[in-house]
Structure 1
Amino acid sequence: MKKLFTYFIQGLLFIAPVGITGYIVYRIFMFTDGLLSTYLVEHFKIKTPGLGILIIFVFLVLLGMIGETILARPVKRIVNRILTKTPFLKLIYTSINDLFSAFIGKERKFHRPVLVLINKENNLWKIGFVTHETPIIVGDNEVVTVYCPFSYAFSGEIFFVPASSIQPLSIPPAEAMKFIVSGGVSGAKFNSGNSKSIK
């Protein structure tokens, strides 16, 4: 039962942001497009299909600009306080917020792709991202935190490895992520230009 609930939460976290955002954008588009089209046809005899998309784009840009102003910060703080103190909503909100911040926020975590030496004997490497630069003490060793996403899945693994066991990759973070998630069929191309990074 606990595992089913875990799967339910994972599924909810995966679909909720996309589904809710898509539904809201669709409803706004249908409303604005229908309203504007009717008004323009009745008064100016002009048909402008798709004008709602432009309106939504401008609206989201303005919303983003307002979100960066001082006026919006107290509101964001209040909403954040409410959501982080509500038991069930706290789990969903903090997980989604941390995920978005890790990818597109000012404190991006997935910006340093590396190769991780998983098995020295067989020279087995794995692509990942250093998510915490500050070393962690494990026993007598200092280790760094590396996140390795799975291919074709919304999940991954965390490894604590010695800094000597990782090598920086000379490719953009987005290309590294695309390469991993696609199972190696798209994204980064390991040619002679960056072959030194994967030796």
Structure 2
Amino acid sequence: MRQRILTKIAGYFFRGLLFVAPIAFTLLVIQAVFNWLDGLLPVNIPGLGIVILVSAIIGIGYLGSTYFMKPFFEMFEQIITKIPLLSLIYNSIKDLVGAFVGDKKKFNEPVMVQFDESGKIFKPGFITQSDLSKVELDGYCSVYMPHSYNFSGNIIVVKNDLVRPWDVNSTNAMKFIVSGGVSGFEDM
């Protein structure tokens, strides 16, 4: 009898933990990001630093889109690309941010890559370059394969005939991969 009660209590605890842990972790991450962003500007009013930062980013984005300021932004980028280490860092971050936002989004072409000769094992990923002939790899493409439960992944170069399109929404494909195959297709 006592064992059954303890087993039920443990079951309730783990069920509650399954509900509370993701919410608590999400709130902690949001709070940490909020505090970090708010602390970038030395303003003593909570939240005002973020408002100023977001406003400044929107303003810079607007200026960068205007016909008059575009040449200045391009000149700034040309100067940065001539400085060796700074160029590497700047271009890497620009490409990473551009992969998720902007006009040239990447990770919008989900695919399955065949990993065995019999065609029974596939790994999901996203085409990042569909043609590698410029680097003397005719018939090859590059595929980014995100890791599950992580903000990292691998880039592989693979023959085109081992890659097949995956007819799913790219957002659902990313959720599926990052969650370890647990979520991503609930609304289908």
- TM-score bin, normalised by smaller chain: 0.5 to 0.7
Q: Tell me, what secondary structure is at the counterpart of 2:70?
A: helix
Deviation at 1:106, TM superposition (A): 1.5
**Which letter maps to 1:183?**
G
CA contact (8 A) 2:38 2:48 kept: no
Separation in 2, partners of 1:114, 1:92? 29
- Structure 2 residue runs of 5 or longer lacking an equivalent are 1-31
Match of 1:106 in 2: 103
**Which letter maps to 2:80?**
L
Separation in 2, partners of 1:51, 1:120? 58
User: Which structure's residues are more often strand, by fraction?
Assistant: 1
Root mean square deviation of aligned Cα: 3.3
> Which residue of 70, 74, 77 maps to 1:77?
74
Are 1:134 and 2:127 an aligned pair?
Answer: no
Q: Greater shift after overlay, 54-63 or 116-125? A: 54-63
Distance 1:20 1:97, change over 3 A: farther
> Which residue of 163, 183, 189 maps to 2:185?
189
Distance 1:156 1:54, change over 3 A: closer
Runs (4 or more) in structure 1 with deviation over 6 Å come to 19-22
- What is the percentage of aligned positions where both structures have the same residue? 36
Match of 2:64 in 1: 67
Match of 1:88 in 2: 85
Deviation at 1:190, TM superposition (A): 7.7
**Which letter maps to 2:185?**
K
Deviation at 1:77, TM superposition (A): 1.7
Match of 2:160 in 1: 163
**Which letter maps to 1:68?**
S
Q: TM-score, normalised by structure 1?
A: 0.62
**Which letter maps to 2:177?**
I
Match of 2:174 in 1: 177
Match of 1:14 in 2: none
Deviation at 1:176, TM superposition (A): 1.6
Deviation at 1:20, TM superposition (A): 11
Deviation at 1:82, TM superposition (A): 2.5
Q: Tell me, what secondary structure is at the counterpart of 1:91?
A: helix
Q: TM-score, normalised by structure 2?
A: 0.65
Q: How many residues align?
A: 155
Q: Greater shift after overlay, 102-111 or 55-64? A: 55-64
- Structure 1 residue runs of 5 or longer lacking an equivalent are 1-18, 35-48, 194-199
Separation in 2, partners of 1:81, 1:175? 37
Deviation at 1:175, TM superposition (A): 2.2
1:162-190 Cα shifts (integer Å, max 9, x gaps)? 3332222222212222222232233x228
Separation in 1, partners of 2:73, 2:186? 43
Q: Tell me, what secondary structure is at the counterpart of 1:119?
A: coil
